Amino acid sequence: MTRITQTLLGGLMAATLTLGLVATAAPPPHAAPVTLTFEKCVADAAIGLFIGTVDGECGPGTVVYETIVLAPTPAGVRLEGLYHITTATCSFTAHCSGLANTHNNVIVLNGEVIAGAADFAGTQVQVRAELLNGGACSAGTITLTPRN
């Protein structure tokens, strides 16, 4: 499973480099939160891989979500995973966890940036999204809030 994920992510990076979309250093975190919108859908259900697009204050780019934990609960599904965001100015990886409420189709995850541009290291991350197409897709916002 890890090898497949690494292969898929390697392919995405190769495509990004080939298209000349190499990410530059992220802008310094602002006093105000940075907001990105996203849409992603299942790319490989067997390994919990979702791929899609991102846009917002960092410009257009890609989002890749790797599921680490997917555990049913009475309120929905507990999620833990990695968000890999690549844009021209804000490329980072965030580790997030939280709940996908299957009763109202709302996802709320919290976490922090763990890799990427040094300016975003440790930045708090909140993902708020809506499950779409029976959970095969989701759309929402990713908010980066710098630690003061």
pLDDT value of position 16: 38
| Contact of 27 with 18, CB cutoff 8 Å | no
pLDDT value, residue 51:
98
pLDDT in tens, 5-58: 444 444 444 333 333 333 334 445 446 899 999 999 999 999 999 999 999 999
Q: Is 83 exposed, middle or buried (0-12, 13-18, 19+ CB in 10 A)?
A: buried
Q: Are 58 and 87 in contact (CB under 8 A)?
A: yes
Domain span holding position 80: 2-145
- Quick check: 61 pLDDT over 70? yes
Task: Give residue 31's pLDDT.
Answer: 61
pTM: 0.79
How far is 145 from 70, CA to CA, in rounded Å? 26
Of the candidates 7, 17, 29, which has an alpha carbon nearest to the alpha carbon of residue 121?
Answer: 29
What pLDDT sits at residue 131?
96
pLDDT > 60? residue 87 = yes
* Residue 11, pLDDT score: 44
Lowest-confidence segment of 2-6, 29-33, 88-92 by average pLDDT: 2-6
- Report the distance separating Cα 67 and Cα 64, nearest Å: 10
Which H helix or E strand runs over 145?
A: strand 137-145
Mean pLDDT across 94-100: 97
Q: Which residue has the tokens 């090898």?
A: 3
Q: Looking at residue 56, which CATH number applies to its domain?
A: 2.40.350
First-to-final CA distance of the chain: 38
On whether the CB atoms of residues 49 and 8 are closer than 8 A, the answer is: yes
Output the six-digit token pair for 122. 């440790």
Query: d(Cα 39, Cα 28) in Å, to the nearest integer?
Result: 25
- Residue range 104-133, pLDDT digits in tens: 999 999 999 999 977 888 999 999 999 999
Identity of residue 120: F
Give the chain's domain count: 1
Confidence at residue 121, expressed as pLDDT on a 0 to 100 scale: 87
- Tell me the residue length of the chain: 148
